[in-house]
């Protein structure tokens, strides 16, 4: 195992951005940036042992600062949507910086994805990144500190350990927004990928704004049922008349994961590459997104990313939870600590 670092570029205000490359004893590697705690590369072998990069991204700091797709970033203070950019906590209403029409998305325009995080190398396989979000940053109360340990092990598993504290009551919902294509980034669509999601329901939405209605919709008999392995493209075709797919122009929906505690929530197989990705988490939900808004985007290493060129499985609390009484709580009280683990593990058939 080893970790090497180098300067990746500079922010518009002149701050250095560093890239850290973690290589395991099998020669597989990941790289992370201290900008946005971004996971920039995942280089793992296919079924023939040939290494390839399976996550979408960019080559420059400038592109990441204009990263409207949130490639590889940790997003917060609140991932996903908050309706009308407003919520009430302890009897006080807070108004957020809206950036998705009249709604707030992924922490707002100045969210965690464009912040430079403090970084330390913990050991030969772990990089620790820390960011403190100041009281009322993007409209959220309390000084909130997020610590994220990125670990890459010899099982080709990316381990994300989060630790969150606050000095005042606040809300939070941290997720990782990596896009994956198990055939290789820039290698066409993910429509032939096989997918399993261990969930019996999704949180229904009422419009293209993707704000939950509060309904937990049973996936049985619908194009959202991935409890057994299904091919993504075939399920999209099956659901072409489903309003929830129409609203998102594809899959952009939160799944209610079966069970509690740390458990496996999803598995993806990559067709011709023979790669497999398993997802484990202790969170209640996972957002499936199928790259519905990628219109010939220029990515790293000369790649072009088109619609369905990648998928996301964002482990999280449910969207708009603070405004939905039936959803798990996203309130973090002053002096309390939130901890969470998500793992993406890669193998081959």
> Which residues does the annotation mark as catalytic?
177, 314
* Spatial separation of the C-alpha atoms in residues 316 and 314, rounded to whole Å: 6
- Longest CA–CA span in the chain (Å) reads 59
Rg (CA), the chain: 19
Upper half-sphere CA count for residue 180 (Cβ side, 13 Å): 25
What are 150's strand-pairing partners?
127, 160
Closest CA to 192 of 98, 95, 287, 273: 273
Alpha helix stretches (DSSP H) within 4-109: 61-65
- Taking a C-beta distance cutoff of 8 angstroms, is the pair 254, 266 a contact? no
What are 344's strand-pairing partners?
158, 279
* Spatial separation of the C-alpha atoms in residues 212 and 164, rounded to whole Å: 25
- Taking a C-beta distance cutoff of 8 angstroms, is the pair 251, 239 a contact? no
Alpha carbon 140 to chain centroid distance? 21
Alpha carbon 287 to chain centroid distance? 8
Q: Map tokens 């990316």 to a residue.
A: 158
Q: 153 Cβ partners below 8 Å, 6+ apart?
A: 24, 125, 159
Q: Map tokens 């900008």 to a residue.
A: 35
* Spatial separation of the C-alpha atoms in residues 319 and 330, rounded to whole Å: 10
- Taking a C-beta distance cutoff of 8 angstroms, is the pair 132, 166 a contact? no
Q: Map tokens 């919902």 to a residue.
A: 173
């Amino acid at each position: 195992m080893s970790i090497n670092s180098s300067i990746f570029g500079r922010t518009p205000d002149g701050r250095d951005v560093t890239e850290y490359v973690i290589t395991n004893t099998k020669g597989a590697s990941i790289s992370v940036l201290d900008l946005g705690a971004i996971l920039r590369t995942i280089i793992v072998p296919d079924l023939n042992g040939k290494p390839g990069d399976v996550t979408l991204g960019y080559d420059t700091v400038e592109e990441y600062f204009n990263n409207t797709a949130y490639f590889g970033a940790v997003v917060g203070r609140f991932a996903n949507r908050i309706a009308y950019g407003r919520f009430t906590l302890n009897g006080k209403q807070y108004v957020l910086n809206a950036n998705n029409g009249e709604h707030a998305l992924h922490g707002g325009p100045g969210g965690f994805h464009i912040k430079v995080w403090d970084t330390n190398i913990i050991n030969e396989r772990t990089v620790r990144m820390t960011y403190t979000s100041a009281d009322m940053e993007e409209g959220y109360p309390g000084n909130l500190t997020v610590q994220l340990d990125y670990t890459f092990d010899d099982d080709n598993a990316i381990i994300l350990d989060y630790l969150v504290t606050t000095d005042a009551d606040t809300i939070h919902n941290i997720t990782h927004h990596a896009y994956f294509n198990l055939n290789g980034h820039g290698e066409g669509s993910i429509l032939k990928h096989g997918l399993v999601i261990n969930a019996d329901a999704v949180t229904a939405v009422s419009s293209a704004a993707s704000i939950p209605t509060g309904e937990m919709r049973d996936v049985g008999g619908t194009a959202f049922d991935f409890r057994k392995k299904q091919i993504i493209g075939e399920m999209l075709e099956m659901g072409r008349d489903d309003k929830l797919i129409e609203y998102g122009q594809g899959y952009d929906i939160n799944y209610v994961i079966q069970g509690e505690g740390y458990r496996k929530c999803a598995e993806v197989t990559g067709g011709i590459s023979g790669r497999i990705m398993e997802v484990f988490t202790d969170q209640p939900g996972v957002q499936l997104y199928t790259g519905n808004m990628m219109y010939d985007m220029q990515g790293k290493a000369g790649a072009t990313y088109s619609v369905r060129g990648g998928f996301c499985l964002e482990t999280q609390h449910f969207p708009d939870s603070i405004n939905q009484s039936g959803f798990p709580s996203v309130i973090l009280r002053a002096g309390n600590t939130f901890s969470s683990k998500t793992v993406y593990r890669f193998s081959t058939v």
